[in-house]
Amino acid sequence: MSTRIVAVLLVTLLATGIAAATPAEPQRGGSAVVAIGGDPETLNLGITTGYAVGAVAASIFSGLVWIDARGEIQPGLATSWTTSPDGLIYAFELRRGVKWHDGRAFSAQDVKFTMEQVTGLYHGRFRPAYLNFESITVTSPQSLKITLKRPYAPLLRLLTVFDCPILPRHVYQGEDITRHSRNNDPVGTGPFKFREWVRGDRLVLERNDAYWDPVYLDRLIFRIIPGAALRVTALEVGEVDMVADFYLPKTDVDRLKRNPNVRLRLGQPIPSMGFMFINARRAPLDNPKVRRALALAINRVQIVTQAMGNLARPARGPFGDGFKWAHSPESDYNRLYPYNVERANALLDEAGLPRGAGGERPVRLRMVYDAARAPIAASAAIIRDNLRAVGITVDLQPMDRAVMIERIYTRPDYELTVQTFTSGGDPAIGYHRIYASAAPGVPFVNATGYSNPEVDALLNRAAEVPERAARGKIYAQVSKILAADLPTLMLFDEIGVDAARATLRGVWIGAEARDRWDAVWVQK
């Protein structure tokens, strides 16, 4: 690199450093407007994993912990905790002086009630953790102890407001939790109180002055904007202040990068991946050789550059590279399945699928996907083109989400599909479901029909062992099997992008853009 380029880079770095460092004094007052795509189905975050619900309710409720921008666990309603050496007992000290929005005092009984009566029963991510619980003992109004039947490594990560929001026992006890009227008008301990919900238009929260940390914004407003492109427009004209990754169309990111009034956060601490389920119940996809041929024939780099606009990295293995400690170089896709049409052709010939007179092989596959998601549709089209080059015909079948869920998970009636899953902060929370044996009929789990007892056992162990080094070894073992069997071809690790108006400060303290709005303030 020439010295001039180095100098320019240094100056740029200094300038951004100074710009970020100077006006650091947060100002109180004003409001922030956040774009969401649709109405949340409820504001009771304890009974759903829906994204919009979390976007709004994460500011109304609190979790025992929160995850910071580096992916580290930080104290929330719990100020400290200890874990027994065998990983079976977790003891929590809770924050003192915390009040519910209706003025009642928060206590350990609320935590026990929430886990036993709400999130342990209804929450898609917390429920699997709760199945490992032996008991929850309230040791004092401000402390409690969780005893597990078997260790569960990602437990602490599942105590955030998104996975186990603490609900008020005095409101919900003895009542129908999923249909409670306060689900639309909730009482929490979070930095903002519920104020107004005009369906189809907006949700308004206002500052909770009794919150334990300073809260700067007077009001936090969620504006419902169904059109993806229009959300970006609203950000550009200043009608909204933030569009988080989940709601941001990636095609607009380049334009936003050039907008001086908008700041972006690229890359998220919580990995998520795009992948292709291969329905192994159907011939010839039941033959691992054919699945490996697909892996060799599909150009993951092309998908990343053309379908994902470079806002992704080509997948490196069965668990991606988002969790460095869980990635095994031995099972690296770049080594096993580099894009290689020749080898793919040879494998298909070997598998007894020779090309016919027209150059086509006797294989016709239906690619089913959610039509509303442009990057997924583009990935599917690239896969079709890639497979045509090795003589396989792919019929694209875009459909709306409800039908897609039925075709992939409920029935299942497809050969190929592109899906994306979030890890939830740990492979055991979000990625095990891609490979673990699953009965058909359940949405958002392994839909390939692949079932391998050895893989199941290894995944269970990986969830139980607390130390990362030891877990890494287990993931290396299971990755070796999964990379060879290839029930699912991982395509890319997503690089998330959140966009905010430059006047919005203190954003992105948390791993998720939905978290920690108490720290956010408006530069006047």
Q: Which residues bind other proteins (CB under 8 A)?
A: 31, 33, 38-39, 41-42, 47-51, 53, 121-125, 127, 178-179, 183-184, 198-202, 204, 221, 223-227, 229-230, 233-234, 236-237, 239-240, 400-403, 405-407, 409-410, 421-422, 424, 430, 433, 442-445
243 with 33: CB under 8 angstroms?
A: no
What's the min distance (Å) between Cβ of 177 and other proteins?
A: 10
Query: How far is it, in rounded angstroms, from Cα 201 to Cα 43?
Result: 15
Token pair of 278, please? 């291969």
What's the min distance (Å) between Cβ of 124 and other proteins?
A: 3
133 vs 421 by CB, closer to other proteins: 421
256 vs 363 by CB, closer to other proteins: 256
219 with 196: CB under 8 angstroms?
A: no
What's the min distance (Å) between Cβ of 68 and other proteins?
A: 22
What's the min distance (Å) between Cβ of 407 and other proteins?
A: 7
210 vs 399 by CB, closer to other proteins: 399
Gyration radius from the chain CA atoms: 24
Inter-residue long-range contacts of 411-415, CB under 8 Å, 24+ positions, other chains counted? 411/440, 412/279, 412/281, 412/440, 412/447, 412/449, 414/277, 414/279, 414/366, 414/367, 414/368, 415/278, 415/279, 415/282, 415/285, 415/365, 415/366, 415/367
69 vs 445 by CB, closer to other proteins: 445
Query: How far is it, in rounded angstroms, from Cα 147 to Cα 519?
Result: 34
What's the min distance (Å) between Cβ of 221 and other proteins?
A: 5
Enter the DSSP assignment of 520: -
Query: How far is it, in rounded angstroms, from Cα 108 to Cα 139?
Result: 8
124 vs 267 by CB, closer to other proteins: 124
123 vs 291 by CB, closer to other proteins: 123
DSSP assignment of 292-318: HHHHHHS-HHHIIIIISTT-EEE--ST
Token pair of 291, please? 């699945």
Give the helix, strand, coil percentages of the chain, each rounded to 5: 35, 20, 45
What's the min distance (Å) between Cβ of 417 and other proteins?
A: 15
391 vs 498 by CB, closer to other proteins: 498
Query: How far is it, in rounded angstroms, from Cα 414 to Cα 426?
Result: 29
Inter-residue long-range contacts of 325-330, CB under 8 Å, 24+ positions, other chains counted? 325/468, 325/469, 325/471, 325/472, 325/475, 326/427, 326/471, 326/472, 326/475, 327/475, 327/479, 328/472, 328/475, 328/476, 328/479, 328/480, 330/476, 330/479, 330/480
Token pair of 232, please? 């970006």
61 vs 92 by CB, closer to other proteins: 61
471 with 487: CB under 8 angstroms?
A: no
Query: How far is it, in rounded angstroms, from Cα 192 to Cα 205?
Result: 6
What's the min distance (Å) between Cβ of 267 and other proteins?
A: 20
196 vs 330 by CB, closer to other proteins: 196
Token pair of 156, please? 């602490």
28 vs 335 by CB, closer to other proteins: 28
What's the min distance (Å) between Cβ of 442 and other proteins?
A: 5
129 vs 392 by CB, closer to other proteins: 129
What's the min distance (Å) between Cβ of 415 and other proteins?
A: 18
CA distances to 33, 101, 171, 192, 380 from 113, in Å:
33, 18, 11, 22, 45
Side chain identity, residue 432: H
Write out the H or E segment, with its range, that includes residue 15: helix 3-21
What's the min distance (Å) between Cβ of 463 and other proteins?
A: 15
What's the min distance (Å) between Cβ of 35 and other proteins?
A: 9
What's the min distance (Å) between Cβ of 397 and other proteins?
A: 12
Write out the H or E segment, with its range, that includes residue 177: none
207 vs 291 by CB, closer to other proteins: 207
Query: How far is it, in rounded angstroms, from Cα 409 to Cα 439?
Result: 10
